[in-house]
Amino acid sequence: MPDPASAIPRPGYGRRGSCNTPILPHPEGMTSTSPLLPNHWLPDLGALTLACGECQQCSLSASRQQVVVGRGNPKARLMLIGEAPGAEEDATGLPFVGRSGLLLDQLLAEVGLDRDHDLYICNGLKCRPPENRKPKPAELEACRPWLEQQINLVNPAVIGLVGATALSAVLGTKAGISQLRGQWLAGEGPLLGGRALMPLFHPSYLLRNPSRLEGKPRSLTVGDLARLARRISQ
């Protein structure tokens, strides 16, 4: 099996419209015995959802109830990428609908962002790890082509990396989230080039650190989200 991450030829700038590779005409025709990871850019999020639904690239496919692809505005300028589905997400098929998601909704509302209209949200891992354990690097690696397809399709100008797992899954950096949160990072390479990225604390961390005092993680995160909101309104 070829390395899944290298199976996707990159279009010129990773931008919609720059794709000159063939488009899969019938993604629903993919089966578990066919090469699951398409070697071209998928035409739309519907095709991505169908393809992810067939994915068995790692063992999480055996325990998942549903693949959790994404939700929100597929044309949004802002994409948030989290870690992995939990129990509620696995049950509903929607990202960030559990306790972390409710807190995230609240923080987004505090800075005037509506989760359904102003952004698109997804995870680095599309299937729930058992007992909500941390995703394994090999699982993130196997899932990365789907995330790349998603970034290419939504084509966000700004990406918020929600938590340390998203930070390392997308940028491959080992630097800690506390070090990098709130900083603008310039995306590099065919897919991320031209996009602005900002690491953010994960809402599950904020649930464990609920103080609203200035300088504490919650208020830092509200400040970070406000800067994301300003950036997409420019």
Name the residues that contact ligand URA, by CB under 6 A.
82-86, 89, 95-96, 98, 100-101, 123
Residue closer to ligand URA by CB (options 57, 165) is 165
Smallest separation (angstroms) from ligand URA to the CB of 126: 10
Nearest residue to ligand URA on Cβ basis:
82
Q: Indicate the Cα dihedral angle 222, 203, 160, 79, nearest 10°.
A: -110
Signed CA dihedral, 102, 95, 173, 223: sign only: negative
Residues 120 and 160: beta-carbon distance below 8 Å: no
**Minimal distance, residue 102 CB to ligand URA, in Å:** 10
Query: Is the Cβ of residue 68 or residue 153 nearer to ligand URA in the bound state?
Result: 68
Q: How far apart are CA 111 and CA 106, in angstroms?
A: 9
Q: What is the smallest separation between the CB atom of 123 and ligand URA, expressed in angstroms?
A: 5
Q: How many Cβ atoms from other residues are within 10 Å of residue 17's Cβ?
A: 9
Residue indicated by tokens 């080039």: 193
CB of 147 to ligand URA, least distance (A): 13
DSSP string, 93-138: S-SS-SHHHHHHHHHHHHTT--TTTTEEEEES-SSPPGGGPPPPHH
Task: Please report how close the Cβ of residue 86 comes to ligand URA at its closest, in angstroms.
Answer: 5
If the CB atoms of residues 123 and 155 are measured against ligand URA, the closer one turns out to be: 123
Residue among 8 and 202 whose Cβ is closer to ligand URA: 202
Rounded to whole angstroms, the Cα distance separating 226 from 143 reads 30
Q: Which amino acid is at 136?
A: K
| Closest to ligand URA by CB, 24 or 202 | 202
Cβ 84 to ligand URA shortest distance, Å: 6
Q: Which is nearer to ligand URA, 54 or 90 (CB)?
A: 90
How far is 52 from 148, CA to CA, in rounded Å? 12
